[in-house]
Amino acid sequence: MGGAVVDEGPTGVKAPDGGWGWAVLFGCFVITGFSYAFPKAVSVFFKELMREFGIGYSDTAWISSILLAMLYGTGLGLALNFQPSLIMLNRYFNKRRPMANGLAAAGSPVFLCALSPLGQLLQDRYGWRGGFLILGGLLLNCCVCAALMRPLVAPQPGGAPGPQRPARRLLDLSVFRDRGFVIYAAAASIMVLGLFVPPVFVVSYAKDLGVPDTQAAFLLTILGFIDIFARPTAGFITGLKKVRPYSVYLFSFAMFFNGFTDLTGSTASDYGGLVVFCIFFGISYGMVGALQFEVLMAIVGTHKFSSAIGLVLLLEAVAVLVGPPSGGKLLDATHVYKYVFILAGTEVLTSSLVLLLGNFFCIRKGPEAPQPEEAASEAERLHKPPTEVRVDTREVEHFLKAEPEKNGEVVHTPETSV
């Protein structure tokens, strides 16, 4: 989608919307790629794990669920990379934030395109144990990306860095007073129940249809390739001046589109049908990935974003622990993939309706808050010292000559003073 660390930065720092922010964006791109693609890419090992340990689909689904839950709710593992990088990205970008979020989110499909066939290749050559070991070594590249994260420092008029703002509480629970945040958190938690189910099971679905392992793993590459273009495009469209105020409704549409794709994908009965499903799922999944954090920041604002995303991902961690394993349980009981996709689609469709109807009926929009640049200009105007009043010397001389005495004292004119 957490970060629990509040990092509002020094007072008066304006988001550069560029500069070193592009390096931060690149680091966030790589970290997001590993964080989201790795839990999905390991699904290529599921068949081998089932054969070696004699387990069912619900048992192997716990692997992806635990990885995603660690990413979302614990603040450990991949979350140590992902959450701080996302907060830093939103500190460096304001006007270009939708585009920046879309580009960073594109790391997920780019790495999914690479890690999925690479995982299959590593399994064929080194087995699942060797494959996990090599993929784990690749994850160490996130340490290099972490070195790109620099805190913004407010300069003083003399050129020295300004004082840092005192640290605040770890989590600001006051965000629960915001009805928009509560509705968003509820909708996102329901969405996560079914959002990750199709990518986890689509490779196993193809293998059960008799598709060769390499072609089955290629389905995730197709999904990721479409996702690469969907995320930046959705971010660019959301950043348009006429579209950005309606980003919540666009996010609701993306969720509806994703759920509808799951329902139609349940009718696929051959490899071609799964390819078509992956194409449309990649579009809708990319839209969801590009909009989710932008919409959350639009709801709670910059100051509460760190706490809000931490609390949302904590709630989603519970849901993601339930989603894929419940789909696996259903598959073990029925041995029909159609029901798994229908369940996932129904959950995502429900989440879109919760967000749409909740935002439409329960949230009354107040006056629009000023943009940071406007607020800074207003603050400068209020704190600006009064303008010096300039008076003509001839007027002063005339005044002094006209009133030679005041309170019984002689006030010398310029002539007598000389």
3-state secondary structure the chain: CCCCCCCCCCCCCCCCCCCCHHHHHHHHHHHHHHHHHHHHHHHHHHHHHHHHHCCCHHHHHHHHHHHHHHHHHHCCCCHHHHHHHHHHHHHHCCCCHHHHHHHHHCHHHHHHHHHHHHHHHHHHHHHHHHHHHHHHHHHCCHHHHHCCCCCCCCECCCCCECCCCCCCCCCCHHHHHCHHHHHHHHHHHHHHHHHCHHHHHHHHHHHHCCCCHHHHHHHHHHHHHHHHHHHHHHHHHHCCCCCHHHHHHHHHHHHHHHHHHHHHHCCCCCHHHHHHHHHHHHHHHHHHHHHHHHHHHHHHCCCCHHHHHHHHHHHHHHHHHHHHHHHHHHHHHHCCHHHHHHHHHHHHHHHHHHHHHHHHHCCCCCCCCCCHHHHHHHHHHHHCCCCCCCCCHHHHHHHHHHCCEECCEECCCHHHHC
pLDDT of residue 414: 37
CB atoms within 10 A of CB 256: 18
How far is it, in rounded angstroms, from Cα 119 to Cα 135? 8
Cα R_g (the chain), whole angstroms: 29
How far is it, in rounded angstroms, from Cα 305 to Cα 89? 12
Tokens coding 232? 């930046």
Tokens coding 69? 């839950």
pLDDT of residue 159: 52
How far is it, in rounded angstroms, from Cα 316 to Cα 190? 8
pLDDT of residue 280: 92
How far is it, in rounded angstroms, from Cα 331 to Cα 148? 44
Tokens coding 128? 């699942």
pTM for the model stands at 0.65
pLDDT of residue 75: 59
How far is it, in rounded angstroms, from Cα 35 to Cα 89? 16
How far is it, in rounded angstroms, from Cα 367 to Cα 26? 36
Alpha-carbon distances, residue 396 vs 200, 400, 403 (angstroms): 86, 6, 11
According to DSSP, the residues that pair with 181 across neighbouring strands are: none
Cβ atoms of 349 and 256 within 8 Å: the answer is yes
How far is it, in rounded angstroms, from Cα 363 to Cα 355? 11
Cβ atoms of 74 and 317 within 8 Å: the answer is yes
- Which of 316, 314, 310, 309 shows the shortest CA–CA distance to 293? 309
In sequence order, the 6+-apart residues with CB closer than 8 A to the CB of 14 are 94, 372, 373, 376
Alpha-carbon distances, residue 100 vs 84, 106, 113, 128 (angstroms): 15, 10, 21, 36
pLDDT of residue 32: 85
**Amino acid in the structure at residue 167:** A
CB atoms within 10 A of CB 124: 12
Give, for all 418 residues of the chain, the pLDDT tens digit.
333 333 444 445 777 777 888 888 898 888 888 887 887 777 778 778 888 888 777 777 777 777 777 776 665 667 777 778 877 887 888 777 777 877 887 787 788 778 878 888 888 888 888 888 888 888 888 888 888 888 777 666 655 555 555 555 666 777 888 888 889 889 988 998 888 888 878 888 888 888 887 888 788 888 888 888 888 888 888 888 888 888 888 899 999 999 999 998 888 888 888 999 999 999 998 888 888 888 888 888 777 777 787 788 888 888 888 877 888 888 888 888 888 889 999 999 999 999 888 887 776 544 444 444 444 554 555 555 544 445 454 543 444 445 444 444 444 433 333 3
